[in-house]
Amino acid sequence: MSGPQALTVRNLSIEFGGVHAVEDVSFEVQPGEIFAIIGPNGAGKSTIFNLISRFYEPTAGSIDYGEHDLLKLPAHRVVHTGIGRTFQNIELFEQATMLQNLLIGRHRHMVANPFSNFLFAPGVRKSELEHRRKVEDIIDLLEIAQYRDERIADLSYGARRNVELARALCAEPTLLLLDEPSSGLNSEETDDVSFWLEDIRHDLGVTLVMVEHDMNLVGSVADRVMAINDGKLIAIGTPDEIRQNAEVQHAYLGVAA
Amino acid sequence: MQYLFKTHYNDDIRFLAKTGEKIRVGLVILAMIAAPLVLQDYYLAELGLLFVYVIAGVGLMILTGYTGQVSFGHAAFLGIGAYSHSILMANGVPFTLSLIMTVILSGLIGMAIGRSASKMHGFYLAIATLAFGILIETVFGEWSSLTGGYAGLAVPGLKVFGISLTAAWQQYAVDLVIALAVIWGVSNLFRSPTGRSFVAVRDSEVSARSLGVNVEWVKIQAFGVSAAVTGLAGVLLAHHLTYLAPDVFSVLESLKLLLMIVVGGLGSILGAIFGAIFISLLPVALSFLKDVLPPAIGQQAGLEPLLFGSIIVLFIVFEPLGINGRWQKIRFFFETFPYYRKSSFVRQKSYLKTERLR
C-alpha cells in the first residue's frame, strides 16, 4: 500500500426514489490536504461520504482513489485502499471495551482464520501483541489511555468521538473521512480536535476530508472548502473565498430581500 | 479489593487474570474431575448431560450472543449432529472419525443457512431459522429409510478407539473432556480477530464494514462455527438418549436452547454455562411444582412452555444480562465492599441513534 494519493470524484450523482440527494458533484482532494465539505442540513454531505464508503450505489459518476476505482470494490474492501472513516452518529462497538474497538480497527491488517484462532496457535498470540503495540501508539497520540478497559457504553460523548477517531486511525488510513468531528463537543474539546487534525496530518501523513458545521474549525484547519446545497456543488475554494461567496451566503441565510 | 497491575500486553490476552478467578475455575474443574468418585451413576449421567447442554449453549451463544443473529431453529443442528453421528457409527465408521465428519457436516449446513441468512435481519431471520428448524424436524420424521422415521433410531454404543465405554463415568469423562475443549477453543476465538469481527457485526454492521470486515462472510462463518459446535453437542446427546426420535429436536428444544442463553446471560461463555445449569435444574423444579400445585393447575398441559415463556419475560424485564449479569454484580459487590451502590451498574442513557445506517 502506497502513501497518500489523490481522491478524484467525477460527476457523482445519486437518487433516492426521485430525490436527487447528490447531483453531478465533482471534486479532487490532493494528497496531504485538509479538505472540508460544508452545506446546510440535508445538503448531501454525509451522502457523499457514504458513496465513497460504498454504502450507497451511485446512479452516475466515478470515484477513484489513486489507481483504485472505488466503484469496483465492495464496501469492506474500501479500507484496504487506505480510506478510513468516522460516522456522524458515532458507530462504535458499544458492548466491547475501547481496546477491543481499536483492535477491530486493525482488522484490515489481520488474518482472521477461525481454525488457528480456535486453537490460539502461537502465531496468533504473536500477531495480537504486534497489533497491540500499534494500537498503543494511537492511544498515546490521542491521549485516551484512561479509557482502555472501559466499555464504550460507559463512556461520555466526547470520549466516544475520540475513540472513534482513534479506531479509524488504527486502520492506518492514508485518507480519513471525518463526518462532523466536532459535533456535540464543547469549545475546548473542539480546540483539541483542531490540534489533533493537524497532528494527524503532520505526524501520520494522512489526507483529511471532513464534513463540518463549525466554520471556526473549518477556517482554522482546512486548506480548501467545498460548499454544497441541495446535492449540488456551489463552490470550491479557500475558507475565506467560501465565506465571501455570495451563493454560499445565499444557501445558508436565504434570499436577500 | 484486588487491583490488577498489568505489566505486559499478555495480561490482556490471558483468560484468568485475577488470582481469585484462577482459584475458582481451578476448583470447579477439579470438582468435575473428582465427581465420578463421589456421585452415583444417575447423577453422573445428569452431569454429563449438563455438559452436553453447555456445549450446545456455547454453540448458540456464538451466533446469538456474540454475533447478534437470532436462531429459533438451533435444535435442528443438535439433531443433525445426533442423527448423522448415529447413522455413520451404525455403518461402521469409528467414533472419532464419525465425530469429525459430523462436525464438518453440521458446519457446512450451518454455513449454507448463514449464506441465505446473511442478508436478513431481526424478524425475518427469526422466522427463517424457525422454518429451518421445523423443516429439519420433518426431514428426520419422513426420511425413514435413513433416520428410522417416527419409529426412531437406536444409537450404537459409545466406543472410542475401539474401546467400549459402557460405564457411566467413562461417558462422563468423554463429555467433560469435549466440553472443556470447546469452552477453551471458543474462548480463544473471542480473544482473536475472528471473534472480534463477530462482535463487531453484532454491535455495528456499518462501522464493521468501514473497517474492512466482510459482514456477510462473518455471518456465514458465525453460522458455520455455531452449527459445528451445536452439532458436536448433538453427537454427545445421541449417546445420552440412546434412542433418537424426531420430536426430541422440535421447536420446543430450540426454544429451550434460546431460553438457556437468555437466562444465562447473552454475550458471555459463562452465561451459556449458567444457562445450562439452570435448564438442567428446571425439570427438577417443575416436577416439584407439579406435586405442590393443585392438580387443576399442576397437571395442566402446556405448563412447561408457559413457564419457559414467563421466565424469559421476567429475565428480560428484570435482569437483561441474565444470571451472569447478576453474578458479575455480586462479585463486584464483594470486590469493592463496602462501596457498592445501587446505581453502580446503571448505565447512562445513550444518545438517540437516529439516521442509523443498516
Q: Which residues of B are less than 8 Å from A167 in CB distance?
A: 207, 211
- Return the H-helix or E-strand segment holding A38: strand A34-38
Q: Look at residue B212 and tell me whether its pLDDT is greater than 60.
A: yes
Query: In a mutagenesis test of the A interface, which of B66, B186, B192, B355 is the best target, namely the one with the most A β-carbons within 10 Å?
Result: B192
**Do the domain assignments include residue A107?**
yes
Q: Does A181 lie in the same domain as A78?
A: yes
Question: What's the 3-state SS for A98-134?
Answer: HHHHHHHHCHHHCCCCHHHHHHCCHHHHHHHHHHHHH
**Which position has the higher pLDDT, B107 or B147?**
B107
Q: How many domains does chain A have?
A: 2
Question: In this predicted structure, what is the pLDDT of residue B196?
Answer: 94
Q: What whole-number distance in Å separates Cα of residue B51 and Cα of residue B171? A: 11
Task: Kindly state whether B103 is in contact with chain A, defined as any CB-CB distance less than 8 angstroms.
Answer: no
The per-residue pLDDT for range B238-293, each reduced to its tens digit, is 999 989 999 999 998 998 999 899 999 898 999 999 999 998 888 888 888 888 88
Cβ <8 Å between A118 and B185:
yes
The reply to whether B215 touches chain A by the CB within 8 Å rule is yes
Domain range holding B90?
22-259
State residue B352's pLDDT score.
Answer: 42
Segment A18-36, tens digit of pLDDT: 888 999 999 999 999 999 9
As beta bridge partners, residue A84 has A176
Domain boundary among A172, A199, A232: A172
Is residue A198 in some structural domain?
yes
- Chain B: nearest CA to A114, how far in angstroms? 6
Of the listed ranges A72-86, A88-102, B243-257, B340-354, the least confidently predicted one is B340-354
Q: Is A71 in the same domain as A180?
A: yes
Same domain membership, residue A178 and residue A78:
yes
- A138-147, B194-203, B275-284, B349-358: the lowest-pLDDT one: B349-358
Residue where a domain stops, chosen among A121, A139, A172: A172
Q: Does pLDDT of A232 surpass 50?
A: yes
Residues A186, A68, single domain; the answer is yes
Contact A88 B355 (CB under 8 A): yes
A108 and A180 part of one domain: no
Rounded Cα distance, B192 and B326, in Å: 27
Contact A65, A7 (CB under 8 A): yes
CATH number at residue A184: 3.40.50.300
- Which chain B residue has the Cα nearest residue A120? B188
Q: What is the mean pLDDT of residues B81-106?
A: 94
Residues 173-202 of A with CB under 8 A from B: 184
For A170, the closest chain B residue by CA position comes to B211
Q: Is B280 among the domain residues?
A: no
Residue A210 domain boundaries: 1-82+174-257
Domain count for chain B, please give it.
1
Q: Is residue B231 part of a domain?
A: yes
Provide the pLDDT for residue B322.
87
Contact list in B for residue A75 (CB cut-off 8 A) is 209-210
Whether B127 has a pLDDT exceeding 90, the answer reads yes
What is the rounded distance in angstroms from the CA atom of residue A8 to the CA atom of residue A65?
Answer: 6
State the nearest Cα–Cα gap between A116 and chain B, in angstroms: 9
For B205, nearest residue in chain A (alpha carbons): A91
Please report whether residue A216 resides in a domain: yes
Reading the block at residue A113, the C-alpha cell is 482464520
**B158: phi > 0 → left, psi -120 to 50 → alpha, else beta; which?**
beta
Flag whether B182 is in a domain: yes
Asked if B201 is an interface residue toward chain A (Cβ–Cβ < 8 A), one would say no
Are A186 and A168 in a shared domain? no
- Are the Cβ atoms of B13 and A53 closer than 8 angstroms? no
Taking contacts as CB-CB distances below 8 angstroms, the residues of chain B near A103 are 193, 196
Asked if A76's CB is within 8 angstroms of B209's CB, the reply is: yes
In a domain, A168, yes or no: yes
Chain A: residue whose CA lies nearest to B6: A149
Q: Is B349 on the interface with A (CB under 8 A)?
A: no
Residue of chain A nearest B225, judged by CA positions: A114
CA of A25, closest CA in chain B: separation in Å?
22
User: Chain A: nearest CA to B294, how far in angstroms?
Assistant: 45
Where a domain ends, among A126, A157, A172?
A172
Taking all residues of chain B, what is their mean pLDDT, rounded to a whole number? Answer: 88
Mean pLDDT of B60-89: 94
Using the predicted structure, report yes or no on whether residue B157 has a pLDDT greater than 50: yes
Query: Would the CB atoms of A157 and B351 count as touching at under 8 Å?
Result: yes
Q: Name the pLDDT band for B138 (thresholds 50, 70, 90).
A: very high
Q: Based on the domain organization, do A69 and A122 belong to the same domain?
A: no
Residue A223 lies in a domain: yes
Spatial separation of the C-alpha atoms in residues A198 and A206, rounded to whole Å: 10
For residue A80, which residues of chain B lie inside 8 Å, CB to CB? 212
Same domain for A160 and A185: no
Q: Does residue A246 sit in the same domain as residue A186?
A: yes
Q: Mark whether A166 and A200 lie in a shared domain.
A: no
B208 touches chain A (CB under 8 A): yes
Residue with cell 420424521: B141
- β-bridge mates for residue A13, sequence order: A60
Q: Residue B343 phi/psi, 5° resolution?
A: -90, 5
Q: Which residues in B lie closer than 8 A to residue A79 (C-beta atoms)?
A: 210-212
Q: How far apart are CA B123 and CA B258, in angstroms?
A: 15
**For residue A242, is it within any domain?**
yes
For the segment B226-247, the average pLDDT, to the nearest whole number, is 94
Tell me, yes or no, if B337 comes closer than 8 A to chain A by beta carbon.
Answer: no
**A77 and A4, same domain (yes or no):** yes
C-alpha cell at A74: 465492495
Query: B 250-269 residues with CB below 8 A of A?
Result: 267
- A78–B contact, CB cutoff 8 A: yes
Q: How far is CA B146 from CA A197, B139, B153, B228, in A?
A: 66, 10, 9, 21
pLDDT at B349: 47
Q: Which of B129, B57, B65, B55 is nearest to B320 (CA)?
A: B65
pLDDT tens-digit series, residues A149-185: 888 988 888 889 999 999 999 999 999 999 998 888 8
B195, three cell numbers: 471473534
Q: Which residue of A has its CA nearest to B8?
A: A129
DSSP state letter for A172: -
> Are A150 and A185 within one domain?
no
Q: Which amino acid is at B305?
A: P
Q: CA nearest B182 in A: which residue?
A: A118
Instruction: Tell me the sheet residues that pair with A229.
Output: A232
Q: Does B6 touch chain A (CB under 8 A)?
A: no
Instruction: Give CA–CA dist A109/A123, Å, rounded.
Output: 14
CA atoms within 13 A on the CB side of B82: 32
What does the CA dihedral A49, A95, A204, B9 come to, rounded to 10 degrees?
A: -160
pLDDT of residue B288: 83
Amino acid at A63: I
Closest CA to B192 of A103, A99, A101, A151: A103
Residue A87 lies in a domain: no
HEC string of chain B equals CCCCCCCCCHHHHCCCCCHHHHHHHHHHHHHHHHHHHHCCHHHHHHHHHHHHHHHHHHHHHHHHHHCCCCCCCCHHHHHHHHHHHHHHHHCCCCHHHHHHHHHHHHHHHHHHHHHHHCCCCHHHHHHHHHHHHHHHHHHHHHCHHHHCHHHCEECCCCEECCEECCCHHHHHHHHHHHHHHHHHHHHHHCCCHHHHHHHHHHHCHHHHHHCCCCHHHHHHHHHHHHHHHHHHHHHHHHHHHCEECHHHHCHHHHHHHHHHHHHHCCCCHHHHHHHHHHHHHHHHHHHHHHHHCCHHHHCCCCHHHHHHHHHHHHHHHHCCCHHHHHHHHHHHHHHCCCCCCCCCCCCCCCCCCCCCCC
Residue A238: Cβ within 10 Å count: 13
Helix (H, G, I), strand (E, B) or coil at A41: coil
Q: Which helix (H) or strand (E) holds A244?
A: helix A239-244
- Find the residue in A nearest to B200 (Cα): A93
